[in-house]
Amino acid sequence: MQFYQRSPLFDEKEKATLLYAERVTRGAAGLRERALEELKNFYPEDQIVELTLVICTANFTNRFNDALQVEPDLG
């Protein structure tokens, strides 16, 4: 169980969002329909698509930078 699942600092929507992000990051091919159904309690379908795009973009950026050993410019 992840820290956020036990934390009172996150509400149910935030916990579902973090769990979904973790599942997408660890292996989106293994996502079950139940994972999407959980999110539909909190988000309409267009927002789930956008959330998934943001998660995938962050993962792409991290992997790209790691592979090329690029240090991000944090300003």
User: Whole-angstrom Cα distance, residue 4 to residue 2?
Assistant: 6
- For residue range 36-75, what is the model confidence (pLDDT) as tens digits? 888 999 999 999 999 999 999 999 999 999 999 998 788 8
Identify the band that residue 33 occupies on the pLDDT scale cut at 50, 70 and 90: confident
- For residue range 15-25, what is the model confidence (pLDDT) as tens digits? 999 989 988 99
